[in-house]
Amino acid sequence: MTDTPKSLKKLLRQEALARRDALDPVWRIEAALAMAETARRHIETGPQDIVSGFWPMRSEVDVRPILFALREGGARLCLPAILDRTTIVFRELVRGAALIDMGFGTSGPGPEAEVLDPSIMLVPLAAFDARGHRIGYGAGYYDRAIARLQDMGRSPRLVGIAFDCQEVPQVPDETHDVIIPEILTESGLRRFETANGSRIP
């Protein structure tokens, strides 16, 4: 029986996450701090920007240093909130506000927080390839959230967040996939060709 794209993605996801889990925890902290410095140099922000991140779970890159670096330029921050089995929105992250359990081992602002539409999205991923194709965690939340923003006429800057060890030779193509034009790893910010052959400036 021929492997389906879904089953191949599942295998690649498992293998990439196993490599990520095997990274030394202290090294992961150092890598996250280095990535924050890269973000500060290459992702310019101002008061007009809204940056979405995510509260780290398991062995994910801790994006909090990246978020705080981008806030230095005046950007507002937000985190995803799971509303139901298909939908996430992005609630503002402000100093001192309590975070609540969002499931899946992550946290986010409560329902009293303002819902924002990000202009820059730091996108979590399980695996990626050299074309900017991403494998998420399988629930499709980010694919749908990005599609919703695009349907509203918004084009947020998408930056995938991962360690180098999560790169795979090729992600199986599916029609609903969102290509991530930029991936930030401990090696730097990598930019990929877009659908029209151009590169992100």
Per the annotation, where are the binding residues?
A: 9-13, 60, 134-142
Annotated binding site for ATP: 9-13, 134-142
Which tokens is 84 given?
A: 């139901």
Cα torsion 165, 171, 175, 176 to 10°: value is: -20
Distance CA 145, CA 157 (A): 13
Region for 52 from its dihedrals, namely left if φ exceeds 0, alpha if ψ lies in -120 to 50, beta otherwise: beta
Distance CA 30, CA 24 (A): 10
Taking alpha carbons only, the member of 170, 178, 192 closest to residue 12 is: 170
Distance CA 16, CA 135 (A): 10
Annotated binding site for substrate: 60
